[in-house]
Amino acid sequence: MVLGVDTCGPSGSVALARIEGENARILGQKQLAGRSYSATLVASVGDLLAENGVKMASVDVIVVVNGPGSFTGVRVGLSAVKGLAEPSQIPVIAVSRLAVLAAKAGAGSAALDAHRREVFLRLEGPAGSARELLAGPEELAELHPPPMRLAVCDEASAAQLASAWKATELVRSEAPTAGDAIEQCLPRILDSDFADLALLDGHYLRRSDAEIFGESPKTSAARSQGIHVRRMQPEDLDRVMGIAAATHHAAGWPRQAYEKALDPDAKPRRVALVAEEQQSGAQAGFAVASVTAPEAELESIATALAHQRRGVARELFSALKSELRHQGVREVMLEVRAGNKAAQGFYRFLGFAEEGRRPAYYADPVEDAILMRLRIT
């Protein structure tokens, strides 16, 4: 008996199958609505097992799709699978959603929408090999692949690949499911090719924010030319809130909170900066820190989607550090979700170091807060 779990896409699924010889017979499958996985996944597994008269202890293998896809969805799925597998030591197989899509469509290569004008990409190599990567417009232009068949299941990735690689044949497919993942993993199930549960992690394929925002000094200097950092003004707030709403890691503040950040008499006082293009005046990003000298807390830093990968956040933080130093600040601290590895990578790139945790600090899903600190003397 094999249980399949996929929570990586805009919608998810769980499936139950029986291995019969060299075939997998799907006994049942349930769809999971997007953004509901933490509330519905385990209950849906229980319902699926009950409907087929199967107990969890009778499941011999769990197949989990471990990405790429929704950061939260990947984490919720992996956490649930580890919780289900650990008590009875059920073996687990992890598989890439790109590999499942490619197999479902009968194509060696595949692409999925990754947002930020990027795609998760699987490219077939010689002798059945493949590499998977995150690619934006620049990477797609540089790859120059030979003509090939490439599976897609969403319009965003299809449009981007059709524009960038005109010689590529796009193979349209329904989105992959947990049942598809079980069928794709059948040879690995028969070969007992199981994962080490303690080392099982998400297959995110996302660049770290250090790469997106910081880049190498040479590249950043070239791309950040024409970016001007200045104090945030009341007339900036509509654009600031628009950037925050489009950026998953930005603080979800109401307008009153941003207005308070501009009030010089507010306690604590805050430093609020915006970055804009000098030529067009377009707002490229913003940063806010609260000051209780000799310490400050970095509360939010975000870059507009159209200006990402140009070193904007690094320019913002450099200006912010200078301003904080003038205000007598010697250390900057922040907190970030334990599972947000991309943000942690960005902050380490800026020089922050982890100094502690706040257990179960965040909700939906519940997880620790990582405390990080940077000395700016």
Give the start-to-end residue ranges of the domains of the chain.
2-199, 209-375
Confidence class for position 207, pLDDT limits 50, 70, 90: low
Kindly tell me the burial class for residue 325, based on how many C-beta atoms sit within 10 Å of its own C-beta (0-12, 13-18, 19 or more). Answer: middle
Are 177 and 153 spatial neighbours (Cβ–Cβ below 8 Å)?
no
What Rg do the C-alpha atoms of the chain give, in angstroms? 23
Amino acid identity at 24 = A
Tokens of 332: 């900057």
Tokens of 53: 């008269």
Average pLDDT across the chain, whole number: 88
Confidence class for position 280, pLDDT limits 50, 70, 90: confident
CATH superfamily label, 2-199 = ATPase, nucleotide binding domain (3.30.420.40)
Residue 222: is its pLDDT beyond 50? no
Confidence class for position 230, pLDDT limits 50, 70, 90: very high
Peptide bond preceding 294 in cis form (omega within 30 of 0): yes
Are 188 and 278 spatial neighbours (Cβ–Cβ below 8 Å)?
no
CA angle 312, 315, 318 (to 5 degrees): 150
Q: For CA atoms 276, 279, 280, 281, give the dihedral sign.
A: positive
Q: How far is CA 333 from the centre of its chain?
A: 23
pTM for the structure as a whole = 0.60
pLDDT in tens, 286-297: 999 999 989 999
Residue 15: is its pLDDT beyond 60? yes
Kindly tell me the burial class for residue 368, based on how many C-beta atoms sit within 10 Å of its own C-beta (0-12, 13-18, 19 or more). Answer: middle
CA angle 110, 112, 115 (to 5 degrees): 150
Dist CA 5 CA 29 (whole Å): 10
CATH superfamily label, 209-375 = Gcn5-related N-acetyltransferase (GNAT) (3.40.630.30)
Residue 50: is its pLDDT beyond 90? yes
Q: How far is CA 211 from the centre of its chain?
A: 14
Q: Which of 207, 235, 221, 249 is nearest to 312 (CA)?
A: 221
Report the range out of 107-116, 205-214, 221-230, 244-253 with the highest average pLDDT. 107-116
Higher pLDDT, 37 or 128: 37
The predicted structure's pLDDT at residue 257: 92
Higher pLDDT, 56 or 118: 56
